Amino acid sequence: MSPAKSNAYAWPDENGRFGDYGGRYVAETLMPLVLELEQAYRAAKADRAFQDELDWFLKHYVGRPSPLYFAERLTQHFGGAKIYFKRDELNHTGAHKINNCMGQILLARRMGRTRIIAETGAGQHGVASATVCARFGLPCVVYMGATDVERQKPNVFRMRLLGAEVVPVTSGTGTLKDAMNEALRDWVTNVDDTFYIIGTAAGPHPYPELVRDFQSVIGREAREQILEQEGRLPDALVAAIGGGSNAIGLFHPFIGDDGVRLVGVEAAGHGIPTGQHAASLTGGRPGVLHGNKTYLLQDDDGQIIDAHSISAGLDYPGIGPEHAHLHDTGRAEYVSATDEEALEAFQLCAKLEGIIPALEPAHALARTGELAKEIGKGGIIVMNMCGRGDKDIFSVAERLGTKL
Amino acid sequence: MTKQRLDQRFAALNAEGRAGFVAYVMAGDPDPETAFEILKGLPAAGADVIELGFPFSDPMAEGPPIQRAALRALKAGMTLKGVLDIVRRFRAEADQDTPIVLMGYLNPILTYGFGRFAQDAADAGVDGLIVVDCPPEEADPLADELDAAGVSLIRLAAPTTDDKRLATVVRRTSGFVYYVSVAGVTGVKEVDAGAVAPAVERVRKASGLPVAVGFGVKTPEQAAAVARIADAAVVGSALVDRIAFAIEANENPAPKVLETAAALAKAVQSARLASKAEA
């Protein structure tokens, strides 16, 4: 079954599998809904009018295409390969999350759904969901861990301004995984009218596929832009990984290009050996959670362990199933960066490029310097600047000992 | 050949002309000893089948009562291996006849290993298994091992399951089918037995098996109403909530839970007699 050549890459298969990963591990009540969503998505994908409408909103509302920017001073600083940023932090709402939300809300409308739910960790996906709901006049309920509500107050206020109801989740440990549990509980309770906008390329099939497809606009644009600016494909792509939607969005259009290295950077938190991290591939093993089989942080009994990262957006004990597959096949490489390393990269980028990155891409940047040196002068790297850091200034200030 | 215990129990209930009472409790809740005392007392309290929950950190289909029960059990150190030890002890010390069905989520079983789990479960005296997040599309690798060990894989059918899908749902199932009476999580919405009756009939016809109805069955009245239209009524959240109340009130949870179970069992046992008398 496995594609013979990487340029024949055609995952997922008809069962929603990326190799051994993915699938549809949901309660029976949700199975018919998940199957209906798959059918609706197939039809939408084949419908030119749907794609045209999505393209229109991406251009005029989201602000695509996002620039591909040569980060000249960082390149000089590291003294190796040329570093380009794919600037998805310039999108409306400040991150790549809106690419996916725009696709899913158009799909929800097409399916006649009248109520939207979403989960959020850092609040970026919640804000993007609330934004598209405001734009299309649909009620929106966002589930957010109580711990995250406390540490991401500006985004909570933003969501409420946009008309969303933010529900703090106190079950479990009150973080992203619990928010996702609660969103699934809402969905199973409101099967007739509700569409669940999942924020990352994980969950039951077809979510990993459709989120990837909606985020692949990042990689398609980057490919065209680098060919235009450099006349060739890059040597490597780098992106941060929580669930992995920005990374798979950048990687996917390049998977068939064997000469392009794909490098995902997980959050190592306090360091992998401390056990307090969010690196599911490096520090976890395969299991089943939230509708899919993938790498998870878990104990010997199969109980899920809480993740830790300074970045609330990476603070998740799992990873999208396509990354699990790309990891096992070796097509993509996965490394990690600690909280400290991300904080250093965060400050470096602000000082040298005048760009305050979100803490998520700061993790990617933390590994980009070494990679640039390894590839060397004459090489080209594209890093996904998937979000801006305005949301993070409070937690960064606290870590740096500055009172705001 | 543990499957026989379920078949024999439902055959006996059928012969008596009454529905069964299925009592759900969480293994190891609130602590191993109290939980065992509860389990041991359930057959005498009138439980015809015991559903024993095995805890998972992220129980996506459960409402607050069973979520909290799982957290209590995990905090008290319960593991899937520990759950099998409890069943083994129950068979040795308490009861050989009451079927035990384990209910929970896939990841602990995946971690344990399907083959080893199926064998260990059968050896311990487990009769059936319900895995909430393992729909038929994903179940074959587990079903193969359970079949080999003689443990029933019991399926859930839901209000969203249409006739076409029902055929898929009841494939490779045995023992009974669990009909989820409401679209939702456990212990929140309440069952409307009248509305559920046609669905029960549909599932019975498609599967040729007894149908137990659960989710939203809390009171003796609701349990009796379900007992009139289904082959068994499942009560879970009301029992585990009784544990929580007892802990809060500083009481020994075991007698309280067994009292609640007895009242529910009585309602189920007399449901059809009462309806015959009315008629």
The catalytically annotated residue of B16, B33, B37, B62 is B62
* DSSP label at residue A7: G
Longest alpha-carbon distance in chain A:
57
B262 within 8 A of B55, measured Cβ to Cβ: no
| ipTM over the 0.90 cut-off | yes
Amino acid (one-letter) located at A277:
H
pLDDT of B3 reads 59
Beta bridge partners of B129: B102, B153
How is residue A394 written in tokens? 């409070």
Residue A164: name the closest of A178, A182, A144, A190 by CA: A144
pLDDT at position A152:
85
Q: For the domain bounded by B3-278, which CATH number is listed?
A: 3.20.20.70
Task: Determine the distance in angstroms separating the CA of A55 from the nearest CA of chain B, rounded to an integer.
Answer: 34
Name which of A31, A302, A303 is nearest B135 (Cβ-Cβ): A31
| Contact between A188 and B169 using a beta-carbon 8 Å cutoff | no
User: Is residue B190 among the annotated active site residues?
Assistant: no
- pLDDT at residue B276 greater than cutoff 90: no
A33 in reach of chain B (CB within 8 A): yes
Domain-wise residue ranges, chain B: 3-278
Phi-psi region of B79 (alpha: psi -120 to 50; beta: other; left: phi over 0): beta
Report how far residue A359's alpha carbon sits from residue A346's, in angstroms, rounded to the nearest whole number.
Answer: 7
Separation CA A388–CA A178 (nearest Å): 25
Mean pLDDT of B48-77: 96
The per-residue pLDDT for B191 is 92
Tokens of B98: 């009451």
**What's the N-to-C CA distance of chain A in angstroms?**
56
The set of residues, in sequence order, having a beta carbon less than 8 Å from that of B47 and lying 6+ positions away, is B21, B22, B23, B98, B261, B265
Question: Which of B79, B134, B162 minimises the CB distance to A25?
Answer: B134
Tell me which H or E stretch contains A144: strand A140-145
Mean of pLDDT values over B248-273: 96
pLDDT digits (tens, 9 = 90+) for A345-386: 999 999 999 999 999 999 999 999 999 999 999 999 999 999
* Residue A139: Cβ-neighbour burial (10 angstroms; 0-12, 13-18, 19+): middle
Let me know if A243 is exposed, middle or buried by CB neighbors in 10 A (0-12, 13-18, 19+).
buried
Determine which helix (DSSP H) or strand (DSSP E) holds B50, and give its type and residue range: strand B49-53
Catalytic residue flag (residue B51): yes
Model confidence pLDDT, tens digit, residues A271-284: 999 999 999 999 99
Q: Report the pLDDT averaged over residues B23-37.
A: 97
Within an 8 Å CB–CB cutoff, is residue A43 touching chain B? no
pLDDT band at residue B278 using 50, 70 and 90 as cut-offs: low
Residue A172 pLDDT: 77
Give Cβ neighbours of residue B30 (< 8 Å, ≥ 6 apart). Answer: B72, B73, B76, B243, B247, B253
Residue of A nearest to B83 (CA): A301
Q: How many CB pairs under 8 A join A and B?
A: 121
Q: What is the DSSP letter of A317?
A: S
Residue B108 confidence (pLDDT): 98
Q: Strand pairing partners for A115?
A: A194
- The pTM (predicted TM-score) of the whole model is 0.96
What is the Cα–Cα distance from A162 to A164, expressed in whole angstroms? 6
| CA A391 to the chain's CA centroid | 16
Instruction: Fill in the amino acid letter for B11.
Output: A
B112 to chain A: nearest residue by CA?
Answer: A301
Q: Does A31 touch chain B (CB under 8 A)?
A: yes
Q: Report the C-alpha gap between A359 and A339 in whole angstroms.
A: 9
Q: Give the span between the Cα atoms of B87 and B95, in whole angstroms.
A: 10
Contact A394, A102 (CB under 8 A): no
Confidence class of residue A7 from pLDDT cuts 50, 70 and 90?
A: low
Please answer whether residues B61 and B186 qualify as being in contact, where contact means their C-beta atoms are separated by less than 8 angstroms.
yes
- State how far the alpha carbon of A259 is from the alpha carbons of A9, A120, A218, A332, B174, in Å: 15, 35, 19, 12, 53
Instruction: Write out the E strands in A170-260.
Output: 194-197, 236-241
A141 near A117, Cβ under 8 Å? yes
Flag if A287 and B56 touch (Cβ within 8 Å).
no
Task: Single out the catalytic residue among B51, B137, B221, B251.
Answer: B51
Residue B274 has pLDDT above 80, yes or no: no
CA distance A75 to A373: 10
Contact B168, B136 (CB under 8 A): yes
Q: Residue B139 is encoded by which pair of tokens?
A: 């179940």
- B178 vs B153: CA distance, rounded Å: 11
Q: CA B260, CA B258: separation in Å to the nearest integer?
A: 5
Inter-residue contact A25 to A208 (CB < 8 Å): no
What is the pLDDT at residue B273? 82
Q: Chain A contacts of B157, Cβ < 8 Å? A: 28
Nearest CA to A171 out of B188, B26, B70, B243 is that of B70
CA separation for the pair A151, A145 (Å, rounded) = 10
pLDDT tens string B104-120: 999 999 999 999 999 99
At residue B277, the pLDDT reads 61
A228 close contact with B: CB closer than 8 A: no
